[in-house]
Amino acid sequence: MKRIVFLVIFFCLGQTVCAADLFIVAESEHSSGCDLAEADFDEKESFLKFFPKLKEVAKKPEADKFVALMLFPLKVNRAKTEIIKDEKEFKSRFSSIMTTKILKVISDQKLEDLSCQYQGVMFGNGELWVQKKQGKVGISALNP
């Protein structure tokens, strides 16, 4: 509980407006650590099915497997935001997009430690964002 309190204080002090970004849901062992409705997931099951798939694919990263978990256009935020338009471009740039840092964030992420915000579900410290668009759950932005 101390960790959660720290995160809430951090976000409140780090922003001029303090929002309830870390609403903790204590339900079952299969629940996310955040309010998925805040991230615009009308039902939790779609995200709870996506999460283990993402973690499994990250163990042995291959472009052909990761591409199915992406939402296009995909934003890759570096010094300048890059827009990855489609599957073909993603596959050709896979190694520069899915960095060791991003893969580590995925493998280290625990369901109960997720943060849900209006932008989606945040992994790590914002290195990866997952959203649901047009019924599909996928990675919408990366900050390598």
Give, in order, the Cα–Cα distances in Å from 81 to each of 84, 113, 118, 124: 10, 27, 20, 19
Average pLDDT over residues 128-143: 96
The pLDDT tens digits for 14-55 are: 433 333 333 333 333 445 568 888 888 888 899 999 999 999
Report yes or no: 113 and 98 within 8 Å, Cβ to Cβ: no
Q: For residue 77, what are the β-bridge partners?
A: 81
Domain borders along the chain are: 2-142
Count, residues in the chain: 144
Residue 26 has a pLDDT of 30
Q: How many Cβ atoms sit within 10 Å of the Cβ of residue 105?
A: 20
